[in-house]
Amino acid sequence: MQSSHAVVTGGAGFLGSHLCTALLDQGWAVTCVDDLSTGDAENVAHLRGRPGFTEAYTTVCEPFAVERPVDLVLHFASPASPADYLRLPLHTLETGSLGTRNALAVAREHHARFVLASTSEVYGDPRQHPQSESYWGNVNPVGPRSVYDEAKRFGEAMTVAEAEVNGTDTGIVRLFNTYGPRMRGHDGRAVPTFVRQALAGEPLTVTGDGRQTRSLTHVADTVRGVLAMAASDLRGPVNLGNPVEISMLDLARLVIRLTGSDSTIRHIERPTDDPSVRRPDITLARGKLQWEPRVSAEEGLAGTIAWYRERAAGGAEPVPA
């Protein structure tokens, strides 16, 4: 019997590679579509040779065809870290717009379920706290971060319109900050930056006074939530994130403690339009998907630090560039 087949765009990225692994583990065939603009084929090296796993290195900004029947499209292609989208502003906009259109076209053609990876960044610097899905957000449309925020907002609008006009089975997840193994150390996000700095004995660079909060979700929890969304017929958007908030200063202190590093903390300038608070209201995910995070920050960070240490022991850079 032929197994169900999922297309994961952005499959060679951080989240995409974990999704490819989880789907294969559940018996799916998986096609990983990626242009390697921010990802790395090394992220899926462990999947090569597994039955049903195919790599297709191409951009989603151009229409792409998938030869065999598709049951599920997980659209995760997009630069995600501020360092990447600030370096690739037009690419980010094109991937969120043209890329979403092309990924939706694959789902439509194959009558497949489609799930868009949207983001808590659609809430901008929120005036409502915690953020529920009904909140419309507070985004600067011409600020430096707008290339990402507005691309995702446009992607959401296009996904909703596709369902309305063509009847495609679509869902939207709004992911809050996710961390775990395979994040690149220089991608600008807090966890890999702090871990890289702590393991190198360098000062941990906390922006502003460090009181700004984020919700950190371990990748295992995010993957479980995305797959629950894929298996449902919910349109969303649905928040997937950890309702336990942590300030950047507390996160830095926790990383120092868990690594046993003697690093200090250095305060640096806060980026423009950096949100002050972030915390999801996950009532919808709890009620409709029976989902909530299970991995505590302490446990998840300890595992992530162990992974970076193992890489170092194997001769690789402790935190991949």
Residue spans of alpha helices (H) in 207-264: 219-231, 248-259
Under rule CB under 6 A, residue 280 binds ligand NAD: no
Under rule CB under 6 A, residue 8 binds ligand NAD: no
Min separation Cβ 225 and ligand NAD, Å = 12
β 178-179/5-9 pair status? unpaired
Tell which one of 15, 204, 255, 305 touches ligand NAD (CB under 6 A): 15
d(CA 278, CA 206) in angstroms, rounded, equals: 17
Tell me which stretch binds ligand NAD (CB under 6 A): 45-53, 172-180, 191-199, 269-277.
172-180
Min separation Cβ 37 and ligand NAD, Å = 4
85 part of the active site = no
Under rule CB under 6 A, residue 177 binds ligand NAD: yes
Burial (CB < 10 A; 0-12, 13-18, 19+), residue 123, is: buried
C-beta neighbour count of 179 within 10 angstroms: 22
Tokens 């970076």 correspond to: 308
List beta partners, residue 179: 218
Instruction: Show contacts with ligand NAD in window 25-64 (CB under 6 A).
Output: 34-39, 59-61
Under rule CB under 6 A, residue 119 binds ligand NAD: yes
Tell which one of 21, 78, 212, 242 touches ligand NAD (CB under 6 A): 78
d(CA 96, CA 118) in angstroms, rounded, equals: 9
d(CA 306, CA 107) in angstroms, rounded, equals: 38
55 or 71: CB nearest ligand NAD: 55
Under rule CB under 6 A, residue 215 binds ligand NAD: no
Under rule CB under 6 A, residue 236 binds ligand NAD: no
Length of the chain: 321
C-beta neighbour count of 296 within 10 angstroms: 12
Under rule CB under 6 A, residue 133 binds ligand NAD: no
**Taking a C-beta distance cutoff of 8 angstroms, is the pair 79, 20 a contact?**
no
Tell which one of 21, 168, 170, 178 touches ligand NAD (CB under 6 A): 178
Tell which one of 175, 191, 223, 234 touches ligand NAD (CB under 6 A): 175
Count how many Cα atoms sit within 13 Å of the Cα of residue 83 in the half-sphere of its side chain: 13
Which stretches of the chain bind ligand NAD, using CB under 6 A? Answer: 9-10, 12-16, 34-39, 59-61, 76-80, 84, 95, 99, 117, 119, 175, 177-178
Q: Any idea which residues carry the catalytic annotation? A: 148
